[in-house]
């Protein structure tokens, strides 16, 4: 999962405009976790995101102010992760409702190898921003989904790294030139 997340920011730079409905019922994915040994289920709609951002950091923290400003442009963040004791405890076909929902989004990464797969999708918005982002990683003993609905730039995803349920993207290049921002990566 960590290697996959490192690919996320690098892959976010490429997208083409497309329009799609913005509502997906994540309960459609519940059966994936029926035999999971552990699970993470984060549902933050726009109002809940704003409420959660109010609990971040202190009053004088500039990074926290940046995250709060970013959250103001988001409509929702949904994260699912299931871990299994052994391969074969979930059916990859159970991910099809989400993949079908994302069919009009731009696929910027699609890796399928040895019974595992990772897809990264985005939806364009105005002003070279990303209007939505989705990652589906189906490994033999782990399934991870990150879905963000709202306007954000690549640098914004890095600001969310390690906050509000987004895994740390430590070591991920901040820009195409490969430089990283030490404040952003942990």
State pLDDT tens for residues 32-54.
999 999 999 988 887 887 777 67
Identify the residue with better confidence: 109 or 59. 109
Does the pLDDT at position 177 exceed 60? Answer: no
Nearest one of 66, 45, 60 to 159, comparing CA atoms: 66
pLDDT in tens, 110-119: 999 999 999 9
Could you identify the residue written with the tokens 């600001």?
159
CA-CA-CA-CA dihedral for 27, 30, 31, 32, to nearest 10: 130
Domain residues of the chain, as ranges?
2-44+76-160
Q: What is the pLDDT of residue 93?
A: 94
Angstrom distance (rounded) from CA 181 to CA 185: 6
pLDDT band (50, 70, 90) for residue 10: very low
- Distances, alpha carbon 9 to alpha carbons 73, 128, 156, in Å: 19, 15, 10
């Amino acid at each position: 999962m960590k290697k996959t997340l490192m690919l996320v920011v690098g892959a976010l730079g490429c997208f083409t405009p497309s329009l799609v409905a913005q509502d997906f019922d994540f309960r459609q994915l519940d059966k994936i976790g029926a035999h999971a040994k552990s699970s993470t289920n984060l549902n933050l709609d726009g109002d809940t995101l704003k409420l959660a951002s109010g609990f971040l950091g202190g009053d004088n923290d500039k990074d926290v102010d940046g995250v709060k400003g970013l959250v103001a442009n988001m409509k929702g963040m949904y994260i699912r992760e299931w871990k299994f004791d052994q391969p074969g405890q979930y059916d990859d076909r159970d991910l099809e409702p989400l993949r079908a929902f994302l069919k009009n989004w731009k696929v910027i990464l699609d890796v399928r190898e040895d019974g595992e797969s990772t897809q990264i999708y985005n939806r364009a918005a105005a002003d070279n921003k990303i209007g939505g982002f989705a990652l589906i990683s189906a490994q033999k003993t782990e399934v991870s989904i990150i879905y963000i609905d709202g306007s954000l730039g690549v640098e914004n995803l890095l600001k969310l790294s390690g906050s509000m349920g987004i895994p740390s993207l430590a070591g991920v290049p901040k820009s195409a030139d490969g430089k990283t921002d030490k404040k952003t990566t942990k």
